[in-house]
Structure 1
């Protein structure tokens, strides 16, 4: 693999993961009650605690995208 291939791979990974982040956030905003009922029944977590877990999930997912996709992509674009 050369640098151009890895850069393209990280670019597509970033695009796909950012799309999934937006879809997840939109689903949580638009279908909050059905999702909370589903997740509460599936996981046994109280419905009052789920908004905090949703926020944590989105925050950690965004950090993971930044650290593992965007930063290496930008670094490769700089050196290429």
Structure 2
């Protein structure tokens, strides 16, 4: 039973950290959209219009992965304890 509690705590902290990183990335893209787009456009040779789609896809995939691999196991472990 102790291992389940420890795993639950680990998944809880992983969820919190990853949701925090997702929030920071989202806010950075909202507040500094032009500056970030200019840097990424020069680095990778991508047009600003295409970068907007890439940013949305990145955030959406990251969010789904956080829920699949962090939040859902945390909820399952909390139900078990």
* TM-score interval for Structure 1 and Structure 2 normalised by the shorter chain: over 0.9
**Which residue in 2 is equivalent to 1:2?**
3
- Calculate the TM-score normalised by the size of structure 2: 0.95
**Which residue in 2 is equivalent to 1:62?**
63
Q: After TM superposition, give the deviation of residue 43 of structure 1 in Å.
A: 1.3
Q: In angstroms, what is the RMSD of aligned CA positions? A: 1.0
**Which residue in 1 is equivalent to 2:25?**
24
CA distance in 1, matches of 2:60, 2:49: 19
Q: How many residues align?
A: 80
Query: Which runs of 5 or more structure 1 residues have no equivalent in the other structure?
Result: none
Map 1:38-77 onto structure 2 (within 5 A).
Answer: 38-77=39-78
Q: Would you tell me which structure has more helix in proportion to its own residues?
A: 2
Structure 1 residues 10-53: Cα deviation after superposition (integer angstroms, max 9, x where no partner) = 00000000000100000000000000001111111111100000
